[in-house]
Amino acid sequence: MSNQTIIYDGHLPTGTGREFMYYKLEPLLQDLKNLWISKGYEQHKVDNIFKCPSFTGNLKNTFIYRSPYDVKVKYSENGRYQLKVPNDDCEQDHVKEYDPKTGKEENNTIQLFSGASGRFLFTEKSCSMTLVQPYFHNQKLTILGGSYDISKWFRPLHPAILNFNKEDIEFKRGDPLLYVQFPNHLNIKIVRTELDQTAYRITQGCTRYKIFKKQQPLERLYNHFLKTGYKKKLLKSLEENRID
């Protein structure tokens, strides 16, 4: 369809065979009916909610980003935390943040799936993507959100959890980590792809630029990316490495 917006959902092959654990981005509306009925909400009441065009229209292009495996965040008595993951290979999926001034571990903000397992979304035409706390599934945690145009910047998306009380956290495989929203007037098609060396170098360039030029306005980041001339190469790479 000519009016379809293709969103590339990319990941970096790990070489350890863990790609089978990646969940596709699942439409939230598809999941909610089953969720509420499983909690004992009567079928006719659920059906009435889904007849509301305002409700369904608002969530039309909202997708669930689920945890690919069990993860535990365990705090010690002195406030340091440790991640419990299924095996040693999964250690590379998570990168700890450190205070640039003191070098100490940032233990109030937990970055999950910020390493080898990061997801990378990109599209050809201008399209805003918003990350939202999964409020239908988890009201206990404070997960940072944000928006940017995924046709003008190429970076990984992952959950960042504010945990000032330093309380232990646990996610089971399949638990929602984030909601990913796109403008509801678009006809969205999400296709999965792998990052080759071309795509990986481009996202590394975006990441390093942000380190070198801290706290830049989004428009300046967009202008930098577009001036590099890498967009055409990136789209070609993502299209050639599609897996569905």
What integer best gives the mean pLDDT of the chain? Answer: 91
Q: Which residues of the chain have pLDDT under 70?
A: 1-2, 17, 20-21
The overall pTM is greater than 0.85: yes
The pLDDT of residue 104 is: 81
The pLDDT of residue 2 is: 58
Round to whole Å and give the CA distance between 112 and 78: 21
Structure-token pair, residue 63: 């997708």
The pLDDT of residue 185 is: 93
pLDDT tens digits along 92-130: 899 888 877 787 888 888 999 988 888 999 999 999 999
**CA dihedral over 134, 136, 138, 140, signed as positive or negative:** positive
The pLDDT of residue 1 is: 46
Round to whole Å and give the CA distance between 123 and 181: 14
pLDDT tens digits along 162-175: 999 999 999 999 99
In three-state form (DSSP H/G/I as H, E/B as E, the rest C), the secondary structure along the chain is CCCEEEEEEEECCCCCCHHHHCCCCEEHHHHHHHHHHHCCCCHHHHHHHHCCHHHHHHCCCEEEEECCCCEEEEECCCCCEEEECCCHHHHHHCCCCECCCCCCECCCEEECCCCCCCEEEECCCCCEEEEECCCCCCCCCEECCEEEECCCCCCEECCEEECCCCCCEEECCCCEEEEEECCCCCEEEEEEEECCHHHHHHHHHHHHHHHHCCCCCHHHHHHHHHHHCCHHHHHHHHHHCECC
The pLDDT of residue 98 is: 80
